[in-house]
Structure 1
Amino acid sequence: MLRPSLALTLGIAALASAKQAPLPFSQPEALLTYPSDILPAAASKELLYLHRHLVEIESITENELEVGKWLASYLESKNFTVEMQEVSPKRFNILAYWGKTSKTPVLVSSHIDTVPPFWPYKYNHTSGIISGRGSVDAKGSVAAQIIALLSLQEDLPHSAVSLLFVVGEETGGDGMRYFSTNAPHSYDAVIFGEPTEGKLVCGHKGMLAFTVKVQGKAAHSGYPWLGVSANDVLAEALDNIIKLRQHLPWSEKYGNTTINIGRVEGGVAANVVAETAKAQFAVRLAAGTPTVIKGMIVGALQGVKSRVEGLGGGLEIEWGSEGYPPVDINCDVKGFDKITVNYGTDIPNLEGIHKRYLYGPGSIFVAHSDHEALKVEELETAVIDYKKLILAALEKQKRM
């Protein structure tokens, strides 16, 4: 259920006054008239202020409360109506809009959680490079989206666009899935923010996660025939998965389907035959469906499974979620370079029939790393480009 107002939701009516007040725009009228390729100094100053505060607040998935509280306060100070949607205890999505209704034709969205570990905010004034965890993925998008919409405040009816900032995108999308179930209505277009190098994305690969768990029998390493080594069985399973990679479906648009062996663990000591072992995998689908890929994985491991079961052990495949196939995304707005990407997003987690756009500042190649960073000019360009996307989405909605 959507909970209106920050104060009623968390009982922190004094939050805005307790925090440092956001810097106001000194010349709001400048935002309405600036050339399409130049961001005014006042808007740039506000953009950097907002981005810095978002990045300075650690918000690793499951710990998004503080950044959500600050962001809600900031949006309220800009005359947005703010609703906080409780996804789980102390974890809230932020839905913001002007006026009394959240039923807008266009939704602009990104996520406020990050991967670990936390890296502090740094700004090199000489190079114009900003670094820190989330500076790119995806607080750069969050800040640019907000400033873009503020720049359109006087040009659009209050019921035209709403903002949604979700939790949990980095670990499966529970924030967006919860919003999808409780969304106020369907949308005509949704603009998603992720690092895309300032290009418009025409699609991204699908996703499937799974874990292989092996049960063996412990024994002294001097007498390995008295046990069943789970590590040996897992090694055989890994070899079969590696061979399977050469036979996975592919497409001209997305390239090859890939399987990454993300984590492997097993056994307790070098002198003990391993009783248990497991490995975690991530599949990026370039073609086909999760059902097809699951069938291929089961087939590749069937012989290993039968052999270990014959020895008194076991092999189990645990699927992380239903997964999803490749995601085609609208890229029909002129003036943008176009790309496809290999990473997953919240796009498939929001149900409904609507135009879907994916764009954001910064590169995915530095996201999730210890050198996550982007240039100020990338943030400023993103504000201008988000404004273009919002206006294009509203124009297309008028024609429907």
Structure 2
Amino acid sequence: MEKEEKIKILADLIKIQTVNGNEIEVAKYLKTILADHQINATIDSFGDKRANLEAEIGDKDPLNKILAFSGHQDTVTIDDEKIWIFDPFSAQIEGDKIYGRGASDMKSGLAAEAIALIELNENPHVNLNGTLRFIATAGEEYGTPGAYRLNDQHAIDDVDALVIGEPTNGQIIYAHSGSFNYRITSTGQAAHSSTPTRGINAIQGLVNYINLEEGLFDDVPEGPYLGAVQHSITVIHGGNQVNTIPAQAELRGNIRPTQAFDNNHVISKIEEALRKLNQQHDAQLKLEIIHNFEPVETPSDNKFVQLVQRSAQKSFSEREVKLKTMNGATDASVFVKNNYGLPTVILGADGIETNHQPNEYTTISSYLALIKAYQEIAIKFLK
């Protein structure tokens, strides 16, 4: 495929608006591009313009290995379009940079994966001894409905290694934290503020938890790769009228579990704290789990991680490719629920510092290098 066509595919994807939805349009576009190069793809539409896509190349012998390339089709919203240098859906090119919502996160990775599939399939000198599976998901930015649906369909169960195309500036992420979102509701008793002792202040119940939460995870073990558990209270709601003792209040928080202190341990820790607080105070607290994404850790000396690093270094020859970790979560946090211990890496193009920010961009040079890196990974893993 010519360089100009590769750039056009990325630009076309950026121009398709998939802010927290509308993935069906990207899936249709990818299906057409793949079909033009004799690769069959399947679209799984599940309403409200949401859709996943899957395609495969290789010998598809069930006795041989399966490598999966995965990426999400949705993007986050545009907070203030006036701050952008260019229209966020124009895919404007300036020098080596291409701007737009999703340019880095992660339509560059998605396009690179699709093109790698096409070029490997058309290369007469390449014979993959196994299956290369391409998976494009819906809704990664909020709730990961696409990844959960794929798990229900057992689409990842048989995979031997996984590459997620999130932006990494050409670096290798071999471990990332989980993401645990929760809500705590506090129930008290309403009363007039002139007689507060007749009521139970639900806000005070939250204050009791907030004071405890600050040091709740101080004594938990740190992981060898991801370190300490990160935790924050990020949303508080309580009270409707200034002269009424509130009977209901709630807070929400986010925690980044590690394999050393995983999601189940986090849940147990919070539930035990709430039991103690409910015994000590009148306002009663209750935990609700909103999202429960698992940590993903592959040892840095794993053969697949080392293979990916060598392959990426070959393509990104102008920079040193290092092995790193991060506290963000990806679709892999869902996929490992069905395929625990699945060797997983994240490798993507430039622009990670502009994720979810105005003037998001990636570099064309890193995007083109990424395509080569993906091909090298597939060839070496499925040799």
Give TM-score, length-normalised by structure 2: 0.81
Corresponding position: 1:169 with 2:140: yes
**CA displacement at 1:229 relative to structure 2:** 2.0
- Distance of 2:73 and 2:61 partners within structure 1: 20
Corresponding position: 1:387 with 2:375: yes
**Counterpart contact for 2:66–2:159, Cα < 8 Å:** yes
- Distance of 1:85 and 1:383 partners within structure 2: 25
Give the aligned residue type for 2:24. Answer: L
* RMSD value, Cα: 2.8
Distance change in 2, residues 1:188/1:296 (3 Å): closer
Distance change in 2, residues 1:188/1:304 (3 Å): closer
Match of 1:109 in 2: 70
Give the aligned residue type for 2:7. Answer: L
1:301 to 267, 274, 290: 274
- Distance of 2:368 and 2:166 partners within structure 1: 15
Give the aligned residue type for 1:267. Answer: G
Q: How does 1:83-102 map to 2 (within 5 A)?
A: 83-88=42-47, 90-98=49-57
- Distance of 1:320 and 1:198 partners within structure 2: 32
Corresponding position: 1:344 with 2:329: yes
Q: How does 1:1-400 map to 2 (within 5 A)?
A: 25=1, 42-43=2-3, 45-88=4-47, 90-98=49-57, 105-117=66-78, 120-123=88-91, 125-152=93-120, 153-154=122-123, 155-157=125-127, 160-183=131-154, 186-286=158-258, 287-308=260-281, 310=282, 313-328=283-298, 330-333=304-307, 334=310, 335=313, 336-350=321-335, 351-352=338-339, 354-395=342-383
Distance change in 2, residues 1:142/1:264 (3 Å): same
**Counterpart contact for 1:123–1:129, Cα < 8 Å:** no
Q: Percent identity?
A: 23
**Counterpart contact for 2:53–2:137, Cα < 8 Å:** yes
Distance change in 2, residues 1:125/1:322 (3 Å): closer
Give the aligned residue type for 2:144. Answer: G
Query: Unmatched 5+ residue regions in structure 1?
Result: 1-24, 26-41, 396-400
Distance change in 2, residues 1:300/1:128 (3 Å): same
**CA displacement at 1:160 relative to structure 2:** 3.9
**Counterpart contact for 1:210–1:318, Cα < 8 Å:** yes
Distance change in 2, residues 1:83/1:297 (3 Å): same
CA deviation profile, 1:168-200 (whole Å, cap 9, x unmatched): 222333312322332467233322211222112
Give TM-score, length-normalised by structure 1: 0.78
- Distance of 2:306 and 2:59 partners within structure 1: 31
**CA displacement at 1:87 relative to structure 2:** 4.1
**CA displacement at 1:165 relative to structure 2:** 0.4
Count of aligned pairs between the two proteins: 351
